[in-house]
Amino acid sequence: MAELRYNPLLRDWTMVASKRQHRPHMPKNFCPFCPGSGKVPENYTVHKYDNDFPALSPEPPQPDDVATELYQVREAYGKCEVILYSPEHTTSLPQLPINHIEALIALWTERFETLGRDPKNEYVMIFENRGEEVGVTMPHPHGQIYAYPYVPLKLRTELESCTAHHEQTGRCLICDMNEQEQQAESRIIMENEHFICYLPFFTDYPFGVFIVSKSHKTALPDFNAEEKRSLAQILKHTTGAMDCLFDEPFPYMMCLHQRPVDGKNYEDVYHFHIEFYTPLRDKGKIKYNASSETGAWAPCNPTAVEDTAPQLREAYHKFLKKEGLSV
């Protein structure tokens, strides 16, 4: 079964992909993403791989005959792709050279543009899950891309907030957030010429940083080569700082928030940024989302970001020294 089922309470769609339950457990001595597996090129830097067990497909099966006037169903149209960061099985994003991450950003950009040209796709989400704490079973460095035939609820809510702010003030909400964070200074972790990384005033994760473009751009294709190199640098440094927090690979969920591809104009109201959702609140301690967070969507951060920002800044300085760079 693969279909979309409508949730009338939230006015959103649920992807049903029961065949994903049957994904095989890979033998410890075999990785399909490594050269020699027969599934990927023998030589590659970064590589797009179509997901073997997609929740969304360009040729979806017909939904089951279970719809009613209230409970709608539709085809699970879209695309699910795996983006391989490197042929090296044991490397990770912060360990890659800047020019290698530039190649990754170039592939992200190409896939965003290609998937965005399909008129049935409305939102393209580029993301990475890292660490067993967030359910990763394939350690080879990789991210994913989902092209949805609708704009998911969280993104839709964010867009509505940005639109309302622009209508009220004539300004971009995320530009205003950048200004507020730069004025406060205490929550900023790092910045370079084109991007800024900070723990937002409101984040519900102790180390839930945002990477935000300083200029008002809405998606990866808007950036020039210099800006993309700055993005590669701050991605490397941000994830490297996380790894230096507790001197071990740091788990996270990383999501690129960009304009929808539904044909509407978001130029004035939306702003490119990357959100990190980080499940650790301290070394070996998980920040769980329990009943209030899950049942009411009432987030609770167990720490003030003004306390955790200095920890992450110190880890950033530690990472720079490790890389032989000046603070």
Selected catalytic residue, list 47, 140, 142, 273: 142
Question: Which residues neighbour 78 within 8 Å (Cβ) at sequence distance 6 or greater?
Answer: 55, 56, 57, 58, 120, 121, 146, 147, 148, 149
Q: Is 142 assigned a catalytic role?
A: yes
DSSP designation for 302: S
Q: What whole-number distance in Å separates Cα of residue 179 and Cα of residue 99? A: 30
DSSP labels, 58-94: SSPPPPPS---SSS-EEE-BSEEEEEE--S-TT--GG
DSSP designation for 314: H
Structure tokens at 305: 């970001």
Q: How far is CA 191 from CA 55, 116, 197, 314, in A?
A: 36, 30, 6, 14
Structure tokens at 118: 């399909």
| SS3 (DSSP) at 271 | coil
CA nearest 37: which of 51, 27, 46?
27
| CA angle at 275 for the pair 271 and 278, rounded to the nearest 5° | 170
Give the HSE-up count for residue 237: Cα atoms under 13 Å, Cβ half-sphere.
27
Report H helices in the chain.
98-116, 153-169, 173-184, 225-245, 291-295, 305-322
Q: Where does residue 109 fall: left (phi above 0), alpha (psi -120 to 50 degrees), or beta otherwise?
A: alpha
CA nearest 278: which of 130, 110, 158?
130
| Catalytic machinery residues | 142
